[in-house]
Amino acid sequence: MSYFLCDEFQKMEPYIPGEQPKDQAYIKLNANESSLPPSPRVFDAVSQSRIRGMGHYADPHCKQLRKAIGDVYGVNADRVFVGNGADEVLGFCFMSFFSPRMKLCFPDITYDFYRTYAKTNRIDFEQIPLDADFHVNVEDYIATDRDIVLANPNNPTGLALSVSDIERVVAVRPKRLVIIDEAYIDYGNESCIPLTEKYANLIVVQTFSKSRNLAGARIGFAIASKEIIEDMNKIKFTFNPFNMSAFALAAGSAAVQDTTYLEKCVHSVLATRVRVQKALEKMNFFVAEPHANFLFVSHPYISGGELCKMLKERGILVRHYDEARIRDYVRMTIGTGEEMDKVLQQLHEILQEVKACES
């Protein structure tokens, strides 16, 4: 490290994304991306004329995309903030509303970026343990006086809270900010976006990286009160006014309006998820109740780390977290039907190999 790095960052543990190896072709199920293509409208939106216009900056106010999102979700564009992926949107939330030593909380097992952002912004954060079955205990968040960040459904467990439970958390303390990260909400869950009409202390964040198959385009958004969005835009314009590329604005506007294609993709993932879950359970895997585009699984005869390693040797990437409470688990994104057939076959062979070694 350099002499100039701030003292408090010298022992910082950065967020570690899902592995992106290039040494061979993998079935890539470790980063909760999508194996499906984006909406056909995206291909039309990113046109030759738009490419020729790349010498000019994109609209810093992102009016087209904000209006398109607002139209789909039934809110005014002035209640929509867009960013370079949901991670940046969350980053602007942290920069805008959490000053050093403010009190924040989130689960002990959840998206690692919350902890990273909290440390970077010098926030006094508490990680509240999930219960023994990895569920969020709503009463913990009703009782705390800290601001709150919750992924719903949670990552990596895939478990979800009801909108009514989240409303209880939001309603009990109107002066406490609650951020709900809905990266996986489209996979059979109910969004909290309607609650933003009623509660001025709620921010709902979503992404185009999962159900809209645009992880590479980096598009995320937040919906909240007009005043909160004004605050976030004020901070954005002091940091990076041109945070969205012209490609992303065009692609996002096209994708969000194609709700028929979204439903088709979600239906495909859900159908494959159900089939894979049943097949895994027949192989004696434990599968946490799924509410996202991934499965959180463990097996009594093989550790999570070893399973991750053996799958990688067979050209399949899944995510393993070397943390005490979830060390026996792996998180597996749902790919195409063909990809998942190959995964199931390899898992069957791995288990046969493990049994042979034990006998």
Please tell me whether residues 245 and 281 are part of one structural domain: no
In single-letter form, the type of residue at position 75 comes to: V
Please tell me whether residues 221 and 302 are part of one structural domain: no
pLDDT digits (tens, 9 = 90+) for 184-224: 999 999 999 999 999 999 999 999 999 999 999 999 999 99
Question: Quick one: DSSP state of residue 288?
Answer: P
Task: Say how far apart CA 28 and CA 5 lie, in whole Å.
Answer: 35
Last residue of a domain, one of 233, 257, 281: 257
Please tell me whether residues 235 and 91 are part of one structural domain: yes
pLDDT score at 49: 67
Task: Say how far apart CA 148 and CA 198 lie, in whole Å.
Answer: 18
pLDDT score at 359: 62
pLDDT score at 157: 98
Question: How many structural domains does the chain have?
Answer: 2
Task: Say how far apart CA 8 and CA 6 lie, in whole Å.
Answer: 6
pLDDT exceeds 70 at position 175: yes
Last residue of a domain, one of 213, 231, 257: 257
pLDDT exceeds 80 at position 47: no
Q: Which residue has the higher pLDDT, 306 or 22?
A: 306
Identify whether 10 is part of a domain: no
Please tell me whether residues 324 and 337 are part of one structural domain: yes
Please tell me whether residues 156 and 192 are part of one structural domain: yes
pLDDT exceeds 80 at position 276: yes
Give me the percent of the chain exceeding a pLDDT of 70. Answer: 99
Q: How many CB atoms lie within 10 A of CB 101?
A: 9
Enclosing domain of residue 24: 19-36+260-358
Please tell me whether residues 182 and 288 are part of one structural domain: no
CATH assignment at residue 225: 3.40.640.10
Question: Quick one: DSSP state of residue 17?
Answer: P
Q: State how beta strands 103-107 and 147-151 pair.
A: parallel
For 8, how many CA atoms within 13 A lie in the half-sphere containing its CB? 8
pLDDT score at 110: 97
pLDDT score at 51: 77
Task: Say how far apart CA 189 and CA 168 lie, in whole Å.
Answer: 18
pLDDT score at 10: 81
Residue 200 — φ and ψ, nearest 5°?
-80, -5
Chain mean pLDDT for the chain: 94
Residue 13 — φ and ψ, nearest 5°?
-100, 105
Task: Say how far apart CA 45 and CA 214 lie, in whole Å.
Answer: 14
Last residue of a domain, one of 235, 257, 279: 257
Task: Say how far apart CA 344 and CA 347 lie, in whole Å.
Answer: 5
Task: Say how far apart CA 217 and CA 39 lie, in whole Å.
Answer: 13
pLDDT exceeds 80 at position 63: yes
In single-letter form, the type of residue at position 238 comes to: T
pLDDT score at 57: 92
- Angle among Cα 84, 88, 89 to the nearest 5 degrees reads 95
Task: Say how far apart CA 193 and CA 302 lie, in whole Å.
Answer: 41
Mean pLDDT of 56-84: 97
Take residue 160 and report the two structure tokens written for it: 């979800």
Q: Is the distance from CB of 180 to CB of 213 less than 8 angstroms?
A: no
pLDDT score at 11: 79
Global pTM? Answer: 0.95
Identify whether 14 is part of a domain: no
Q: How far is CA 94 from CA 32, 104, 211, in A?
A: 23, 10, 25
Q: Which residue has the higher pLDDT, 268 or 10?
A: 268
Identify whether 275 is part of a domain: yes
Q: Which residue has the tokens 């409470």?
A: 325
Mean pLDDT of 319-328: 93
